[in-house]
Amino acid sequence: MDVNRATELALPVMSTDRMTSGVADGELSGDTTSQERYHAWRSRQKFPAEYLLPHIMRQIQRRNPPAFMQQVRGHLGLSMPELQNKVRELNPWLLPFHMRGDFDTMDTRSAQTAEKASRIQFRSDLIVGTAIELLGGDVAETDVLDIGCNDGFFSLDVAHRGVRHVDGFDLRPTNIAKARFLATHYGIGNVDFSVADVDDFEHEHQWDVVLNLGVLYHVVNPLQFMRQTYELCRRFAIIDTIVHSEPISAYVLFGDKNVDLPAEGREDWELHPTYRGAIDTIRYAGFSEVYEILGDADPPHELYARGNRRCFLAIR
Ligand X SMILES: C[S@@+](CC[C@H](N)C(=O)[O-])C[C@H]1O[C@@H](n2cnc3c(N)ncnc32)[C@H](O)[C@@H]1O
Task: Report how far residue 7's alpha carbon sits from residue 15's, in angstroms, rounded to the nearest whole number.
Answer: 13
- Shortest separation between residue 30's beta carbon and ligand X, angstroms: 28
Interface with ligand X, residue 228, by CB under 6 A: no
Sign of CA dihedral 283, 285, 286, 290: negative
Nearer to ligand X, 153 or 275 (CB): 153
Quick one: three-class SS letters along 67-80?
HHHHCCCCCCCCCH
- Shortest separation between residue 14's beta carbon and ligand X, angstroms: 38
Task: Report how far residue 313's alpha carbon sits from residue 295's, in angstroms, rounded to the nearest whole number.
Answer: 13
List of residues 6+ apart from 54 with CB closer than 8 A: 291, 292
Interface with ligand X, residue 261, by CB under 6 A: no
**What is the per-residue binding string for ligand X in 231-260, x denoting contact by CB under 6 A?**
---------x--------------------
- Which residues between 153 and 172 bind ligand X (CB under 6 A)? 154, 170-172
Nearest partner of 63 among 202, 161, 138, 201, judged by Cα: 161
The residue number whose beta carbon is nearest to ligand X equals 148
- Shortest separation between residue 183's beta carbon and ligand X, angstroms: 15
Nearer to ligand X, 142 or 175 (CB): 175
Interface with ligand X, residue 215, by CB under 6 A: yes
Task: Report how far residue 88's alpha carbon sits from residue 68's, in angstroms, rounded to the nearest whole number.
Answer: 21
Helix (H, G, I), strand (E, B), or coil: what is residue 290?
Answer: strand
Interface with ligand X, residue 214, by CB under 6 A: yes
Name the CA radius of gyration of the chain, rounded: 22
Interface with ligand X, residue 218, by CB under 6 A: yes
**What is the per-residue binding string for ligand X in 262-291, x denoting contact by CB under 6 A?**
-x-xx-------------------------
Interface with ligand X, residue 197, by CB under 6 A: yes
Nearer to ligand X, 37 or 266 (CB): 266
Task: Report how far residue 114's alpha carbon sits from residue 107's, in angstroms, rounded to the nearest whole number.
Answer: 9
- Which residues between 122 and 151 bind ligand X (CB under 6 A)? 148-150
DSSP-derived secondary structure letter, 306: T
Q: What is the binding site for ligand X (CB under 6 A)? A: 148-150, 154, 170-172, 175, 197-199, 213-215, 218-219, 240, 263, 265-266
